[in-house]
């Protein structure tokens, strides 16, 4: 079992000896010699286990253990101790250490204890994953519906999640639930206890997307004053979700291909190669095969991304699922808005089931949200949805003098934020946008502070 280990030891001879043995066993090692450096390390990346000396130049192993528990809950710590400080090691066990090893450390015993720690941590993660899946609307169960198509998608999610596949491509029209499926795959997998990191490629300007994904070193470009961890590093051991992969610039496509093939990369402006163990789930509503023919997308990247392709059917192909979704969204949204539970009449359900929903699940949810907000009572009948198509299908009047699309979009974002009381996720649903896209617009309009919070 190969793992990413942190070794905190201030004696260079002992550190080199332990590191050599563990690397020989197939593990990756990050070596530091102080509490401060250990603190920076656990902030920068996830570790499968930590080996820590009790006595360090600027503190004790107890401090390191506390930092690991705070930032990487459940990661096992193995205490290294001299004969005279065994009592401290026993105290470390009472504080949650997995075990302790007396110096000089026996090499065989070291490997045995590290293996046991990794196996124990793996079992704990699996138990937490199974416990989480017993909660409602988690994993594959979050993909709602009673149709054959919905059942097939849920079964595919479960099969793919537990497979060793590192590249999965989700294809389907906008609003079909590709983001939900990506998260469900993560939650059903053995990676569920690690990070799920989503990014919408179309929501980040091309000149910033590379830094967001790969991180950068100080001085890599103007304003790069300090090292920044990229999303690939943040997702190490977990899942990286690349939504709207078809909008990724050609230069980044080549770099992403290198990561998928070599499982390593360099930060922007960096020389050191960083290894990552990450599953990449990508999604698109575009026809990547056509883009390949037109020279807009790399053929080799497409082949690598779709090791396992999953097609998400549009809502019009599974009308039997519409009543199930409508009732679920009604209950969920009413609770979210602090309203009493709502009831959709049979007439309303027939009306909703008869529509084609070109915006798919996202459009249906938006329609239910508008109805919940505007309804006077707790009953949603056909009248609250109107005879006309939902507003997302409507048209915007074009004045004789023309219109500036960017200004129109900004105005709609402002109005949606007012309607939703500043809730960015709700505003995104009203507009048929992603939350990342709404935040990008807010930032552009000066509605977000530097810390990422909405300004008044």
pLDDT averaged over every residue in the chain = 85
Q: Dump pLDDT digits (tens) for 408-428.
A: 778 888 888 887 778 888 888
pLDDT at 172: 94
Q: Is residue 284 a contact partner of residue 143, using CB atoms and an 8 Å limit? A: no
**pLDDT for 223:** 75
**CB-based burial, 179-213: b 16+ in 10 Å, e otherwise:** bbbbbbbbbbbebbbbbbbbbbbbbbeeeebbbbb
Q: Where are the domains of the chain?
A: 4-130, 140-313, 316-393, 396-456
What pLDDT score does 53 carry? Answer: 92
Mean pLDDT of 22-50: 90
pLDDT value at residue 388: 39
Query: Rounded distance, CA 371 to CA 421, Å?
Result: 16
Concatenating the DSSP letter of every residue in 276-309 gives ---EEEEEESS-HHHHHHTTSS-HHHHHHHTTEE
The predicted structure's pLDDT at residue 176: 94
Domain 140-313: which CATH class?
Answer: alpha beta
User: What's the pLDDT at 149?
Assistant: 94
Question: For the domain 4-130, what is the CATH superfamily, name and number?
Answer: Response regulator (3.40.50.2300)
Q: What does the alpha-carbon distance between residue 230 and residue 235 come to, in Å, rounded to a whole number?
A: 9
- What's the confidence (pLDDT) of residue 399? 61
- Domain pair 4-130 / 396-456, same fold: no
**Tokens of residue 147, six digits:** 């149709």
pLDDT, tens digit, for every residue of 193-223? Answer: 888 999 999 888 888 899 899 988 888 777 7
397 falls in which pLDDT band (50, 70, 90)? low
> Does residue 456 carry a pLDDT above 90?
no
DSSP helix/strand/coil, 26:
coil
In DSSP terms, 79 is beta-bridged to 52, 100
Its pTM stands at 0.60
State the DSSP H helix or E strand holding residue 242, giving kind and residue range, or none if neither. Answer: strand 239-243
**Whose structure tokens read 């704990």?**
124
125 pLDDT more than 80: no
Per-residue pLDDT reduced to its tens digit, 54-112: 889 999 898 999 888 877 878 899 999 876 566 776 777 888 888 888 888 898 999 99
Superfamily holding 396-456? Homeodomain-like (1.10.10.60)
- 275: β partners: 264
What is the CATH architecture of 316-393?
Orthogonal Bundle (1.10)
Mean predicted confidence (pLDDT) in 296-306: 95
């Amino acid at each position: 079992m190969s793992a990413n280990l942190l070794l905190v030891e201030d004696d260079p001879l002992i550190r080199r000896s332990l590191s050599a043995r563990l690397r020989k066993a197939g593990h990756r090692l990050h070596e530091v010699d102080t509490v401060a450096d250990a603190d920076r390390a656990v902030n920068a990346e996830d570790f499968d286990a930590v080996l820590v000396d009790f006595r360090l130049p600027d503190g004790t192993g107890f401090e390191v253990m506390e930092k690991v528990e705070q930032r990487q809950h459940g990661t096992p710590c193995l205490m290294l101790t001299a004969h005279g400080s065994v009592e401290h090691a026993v105290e470390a066990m009472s504080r949650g250490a997995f075990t302790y090893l007396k110096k000089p450390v026996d090499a065989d015993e070291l490997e045995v204890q590290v293996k046991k720690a990794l196996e124990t941590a793996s079992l704990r993660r699996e138990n937490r994953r199974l416990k989480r899946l017993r909660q409602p609307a988690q994993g594959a169960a979050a993909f709602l519906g009673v149709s054959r198509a919905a059942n097939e998608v849920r079964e595919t999610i479960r099969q793919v999640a537990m497979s060793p596949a590192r590249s999965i491509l989700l294809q389907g029209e906008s609003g079909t639930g590709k983001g939900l499926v990506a998260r469900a795959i993560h939650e059903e997998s053995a990676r569920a206890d690690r990070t799920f990191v989503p990014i919408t490629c179309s929501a980040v300007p091309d000149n910033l997307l590379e830094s967001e994904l790969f991180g950068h070193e100080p001085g890599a470009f103007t304003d790069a004053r300090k090292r920044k961890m990229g999303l690939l590093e943040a997702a190490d051991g977990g899942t990286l979700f690349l939504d709207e992969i078809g909008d990724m610039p050609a230069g980044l496509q080549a770099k992403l291909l290198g990561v998928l093939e070599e499982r390593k990369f360099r930060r922007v402006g960096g020389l050191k190669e960083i290894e990552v163990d990450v599953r990449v789930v990508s999604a698109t509503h575009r026809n990547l095969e056509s883009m390949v023919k037109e020279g807009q997308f790399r053929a080799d990247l497409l082949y690598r991304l779709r090791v396992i392709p999953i097609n998400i059917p549009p809502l019009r192909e599974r009308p039997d699922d519409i009543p199930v979704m409508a009732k679920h969204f009604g209950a969920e949204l009413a609770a979210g808005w602090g309203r009493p539970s709502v009831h959709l009449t049979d007439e309303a359900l027939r009306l909703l089931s008869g529509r084609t929903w070109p915006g798919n699940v996202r459009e249906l949810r938006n329609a239910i949200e508008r109805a919940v907000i505007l309804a006077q009572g707790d009953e949603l009948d056909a009248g609250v949805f109107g005879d006309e198509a939902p507003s997302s299908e409507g048209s915007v009047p074009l004045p004789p003098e023309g219109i500036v699309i960017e200004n129109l979009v900004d105005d709609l974002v402002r109005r949606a934020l007012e309607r939703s009381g500043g809730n960015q996720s709700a505003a995104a649903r009203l507009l048929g946008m992603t939350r990342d896209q709404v935040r990008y617009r807010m930032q552009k309009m000066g509605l977000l502070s530097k810390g990422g919070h909405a300004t008044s």
